[in-house]
Every structure is written in C-alpha cells, then in structure tokens.
Amino acid sequence: HEVVARVRAMFKGGLPAKHNLDLNELVGETLKLGQPSIQAGKINVEFRLDSSCPPVFGDRVQLQQVILNLVTNAIEAMNNNGEDPSILRLHTWLDGTSVVLTVSDTGPEIDPDIVDKFFAPLFTTKSQGMGMGLSISRAIVQAHGGSLTARPQKPRGLELQMILPSAGK
C-alpha cells in the first residue's frame, strides 16, 4: 500500500518523505524480500557493499521499491539459465559526491540495440511483463536527483546502475 501511495503521490507532484538513508542498509533490507525467489532459483548472491558510502537523501519506500524491482528483474532473467551458474551481484561505492549501486545478473545475452528501450513505458522482454517497472524506477531515481542506466554484460547478462547524490550535496 505504501509503495502505491508514494508512487502515486510522486506523479501528482506530492512531496515524498525524504530522510538520510544508508543505501547499503536499504539493499540488505530489500534483499530479504527477494530471498524466497533467490533460494528457489538457486541463485548465488555476491555483495561488494562499500561501508564508507555516505547516506543518500530519499524516500525509503520508493528507493526500496526501485532496488526490489532491479533485483526481481535480475532474478527473473536468470530463471532459465539451465546449467549455467546464476549470479546476482550487488555493488555500492562512492563516486565523487554520488553513491552508486549496481545490480547485475548472469541472465541471457542482451542485444545492445534494445537496452535504451528498457526504460520506455510499456516496453518489456517478459511474456508476463507490463513494461512499467523500469520506467517507474527511473522516474523515482530521477525524482531523487539521480540516474538509472543499463548496459549489457559480457558474455551475458545485464547491469543496472543507480546513481544518487549523497545527502547534503
């Protein structure tokens, strides 16, 4: 309910409930929500969370929703990996005055020509997808003064990168 209410408020120009937040803590909390899917998919999770990252200023529920969407998309991309290992990587670091989170997977090979379309409303590569998750996620991140981008990985998979300004910047 909170997620829907806050996303709706964001699109109506409402003010989100922003606070100083530890992005590493948000990643950990959010990953707990995805744990059943991670275990069911036999996915290995690799963390490299930089403990020296300063807080970001944001709405906890909205940013958790973005992280959950990125993680869920990665898990779903790896559902049919066959014999290949499924690895979900989460990495945070400080880049100047911004805090960066990357979420990458070992899903299928991605055509570089369609990566920019991932954020377009109603574009989906999933048979059951609505094509709204990444579009809404990007809007949330941009409303927080940041950016959300994607790039294919070699030899396969996708990396999504969320960059947020550190608190007070």
For position 99, what pLDDT does the model report? Answer: 98
Tell me the per-residue pLDDT of 124-165, one tens digit each, with 9 for 90 and over. 665 565 556 899 999 999 999 999 999 999 889 999 999 999
For position 41, what pLDDT does the model report? Answer: 85
How many Å apart are CA 121 and CA 167, to the nearest integer? 29
Cβ-based neighbours of 156, under 8 Å, separated by 6 or more: 106, 107, 108, 109, 110
For position 120, what pLDDT does the model report? Answer: 76
How many Å apart are CA 29 and CA 33, to the nearest integer? 7
Q: How far is CA 105 from CA 87, 91, 138, 150, in A?
A: 6, 12, 19, 12
The answer to whether the CB of 88 falls within 8 A of the CB of 74 is yes
How many Å apart are CA 52 and CA 157, to the nearest integer? 28
pTM: 0.85
Q: Which residues of the chain, if any, have pLDDT below 70?
A: 1-16, 82-83, 122-132, 168-169
- Beta partners for residue 14, in sequence order: none
